Amino acid sequence: MQVHISLKKVVDDSYFITIDTLPKLHFDTKVAVVTNQTVSKLHLDYLLGKISAKELHVIELKDGEEFKNQESIDAILDSLFEHRFNRKSMLIAFGGGVIGDMTGYAASIYQRGIDFIQIPTTLLSQVDASVGGKTGMNNRYGKNLVGAFHQPRAVYIDPYFLTTLPSREFGAGVAEIVKMAVTFNKDFFEFLELADLKNPQVLQEAIKQAVQTKADVVSQDEKEQGIRAALNYGHTFGHVIENETAYKEFLHGEAVAIGMVMANEVALKMNLMTHEEAHRVKMLLQKYNLPITYVIEDVKKFYEAFFLDKKSSDAAITFILPLGIGDVVISDKVDMGTIMCVLNKFGKL
Ligand code: NAD
Ligand code: GLY
């Protein structure tokens, strides 16, 4: 005996990403701004001056990737229950990618899902983390292993917030911008080669182009069944580097920068890009003081660590390899000899 449950869905989760001075925002509902201590001290008054709502609450979390965990999610949910938020209430993520991912995740599970808005305040979160609806948290098994796809209702990117960002955090965001350009947009790459991102107008244009590039990819493949995986360029190597250095030596974007250089070495071996193209990527990363090399202490251990990456199946490692500049191929068929050859190049002498 069978009962059929018909659940064909037509869902429109489209939204606008505004890159400009933050406008005034009015809500007829209860609103909670989720932020952390650092961002709160610097920018909360500015934000609160722009928001009116039926009731407005602030949930302040501790600052750091180490607090991207269940305890912080529980703190958000508890506050929502205490203030009797309902399914029409709204969350606002106000901070970097850590706050954005956790707020989105809390919104996805509170009373089976409520709306949220992203107001990202780091360059990395403005060009990458706030766009595309990936939300989540870390647990003892690894980073971002628990989460949901839950699209924000809107994203407001105000470059003004970046005026207080430490320069290393700025560089980490540039790495993700370079990632978008190398994988999808040759003209954008050439723009970046000539650009001075310290100039506010140029920076705003670069943010727009990076966001447009990511938006185009997410529109084609929201749930990462195919092309969206290309946004993990540099991450296969980068995650291992972050792990080996216990997340202390490099910011995520810095590890991704080294990872892109390593991925380019694989692409070079497979004749997918030229030495001149790989050199141009290195030069662009160096222009923003990003690291481009790393000494692998134990090549075999580094290789084995690829298999701990959740994006690789048991049998194969997925590599995102540039095809020149502006195009990309996703491959789980790179032979072990090629990979070992590249790892040995970075190995301790
Ligand atoms: P972060 O959120 O930890 O922010 C970095 C630091 O900058 C923090 O100390 C923060 O308090 C501080 N900060 C934030 N705004 C500031 C400002 N305007 N001025 C001064 N300091 C400020 O890190 P991040 O680099 O923004 O994001 C990294 C996180 O994003 C990771 O957890 C990663 O997994 C996630 N991520 C998610 C996606 C996605 O698609 N959802 C994509 C990329 C990264
Ligand atoms: N940061 C990669 C993605 O959003 O898919």
What are 301-341's pLDDT values in tens digits? Answer: 999 999 875 555 566 889 999 999 999 999 998 999 999 99
Give the end of a domain, one of 163, 185, 209.
163
Within 10 A of 165 (CB to CB), how many other CB atoms are there? 19
Range of the domain at 56: 17-163
The reply to whether 6 falls in a domain is: no
* Domain match, 158 and 266 both: no
| CATH at residue 229 | 1.20.1090.10
The reply to whether 11 falls in a domain is: no
Q: Whose CA is nearest to atom 10 of ligand 1?
A: 96
* Domain match, 90 and 124 both: yes
The reply to whether 10 falls in a domain is: no
Q: Which of 68, 150, 179, 214 is catalytic?
A: 214
232 is catalytic: yes
Collapsing DSSP to helix, strand or coil, 347 comes out as strand
Ligand nearest to C-alpha 143: 1
Q: Which of 30, 43, 68, 134 is catalytic?
A: 134
* Domain match, 176 and 102 both: no
Q: Sorting pLDDT into bands at 50, 70 and 90, what band is 349?
A: confident
Q: Whose CA is nearest to atom 39 of ligand 1?
A: 129
* Domain match, 178 and 307 both: yes
The reply to whether 64 falls in a domain is: yes
Give the end of a domain, one of 119, 147, 163.
163
Q: Which of 68, 150, 179, 228 is catalytic?
A: 228
pTM: 0.96
Of ligand 2's listed atoms, the one at least distance from the Cα of 214 is 4
* Domain match, 193 and 237 both: yes
pLDDT of residue 334: 94
The reply to whether 2 falls in a domain is: no
Task: Among 43, 61, 101, 243, say which to mutate for ligand 1: greatest number of ligand atoms within 8 Å of CB.
Answer: 101
25 phi-psi bin (left φ>0, alpha ψ -120 to 50, beta other): beta
> How much distance in Å is there from the Cα of 228 to the middle of ligand 2?
7
Task: Among 232, 233, 309, say which to mutate for ligand 2: greatest number of ligand atoms within 8 Å of CB.
Answer: 232
> How much distance in Å is there from the Cα of 231 to the middle of ligand 2?
6
Ligand nearest to C-alpha 104: 1
Give the end of a domain, one of 98, 133, 163.
163
Give ligand 2 pocket residues (Cβ under 6 A): 128, 132, 134, 224, 228, 231
Q: Residue 230: is its pLDDT beyond 80?
A: yes
Of ligand 2's listed atoms, the one at least distance from the Cα of 228 is 5
Of ligand 2's listed atoms, the one at least distance from the Cα of 232 is 2
Within 10 A of 234 (CB to CB), how many other CB atoms are there? 30
Q: Are strands 142-149 and 134-139 parallel, antiparallel or unpaired?
A: antiparallel
348 is catalytic: no
First to last CA, the chain: 67
Q: Residue 85: is its pLDDT beyond 60?
A: yes
134 is catalytic: yes
The reply to whether 56 falls in a domain is: yes
- The secondary structure of 211-251 as a DSSP string is HHHHHHHHHH-TT-SSGGGGGGTTHHHHHHHHHHTTTTSS-
* Domain match, 155 and 170 both: no
Among 87, 66, 62, which Cα is nearest to 76's? 62
pLDDT of residue 141: 87
- Let me know how long the chain is: 349
Q: Residue 44: is its pLDDT beyond 80?
A: yes
* Domain match, 216 and 129 both: no
pLDDT of residue 288: 93
Ligand nearest to C-alpha 135: 1
Task: Give 109-119 pLDDT, tens digit per residue.
Answer: 999 999 999 99
Question: For the chain, how many structural domains are there in total?
Answer: 2
* Domain match, 141 and 187 both: no
Q: Residue 69: is its pLDDT beyond 80?
A: yes
Of ligand 1's listed atoms, the one at least distance from the Cα of 38 is 11
Percent of the chain with pLDDT over 70: 98
pLDDT of residue 142: 86
Q: Whose CA is nearest to atom 22 of ligand 1?
A: 165
| CATH at residue 98 | 3.40.50.1970
Contact 114, 91 (CB under 8 A): yes
* Domain match, 150 and 260 both: no
* Domain match, 36 and 107 both: yes
The reply to whether 3 falls in a domain is: no
* Domain match, 171 and 232 both: yes
* Domain match, 96 and 61 both: yes
Q: Which of 57, 224, 243, 311 is catalytic?
A: 224
The reply to whether 112 falls in a domain is: yes
> How much distance in Å is there from the Cα of 29 to the middle of ligand 2?
30
Task: Give 244-270 pLDDT, tens digit per residue.
Answer: 999 999 999 999 999 999 999 999 999
pLDDT of residue 308: 74
Of ligand 2's listed atoms, the one at least distance from the Cα of 134 is 4
228 is catalytic: yes
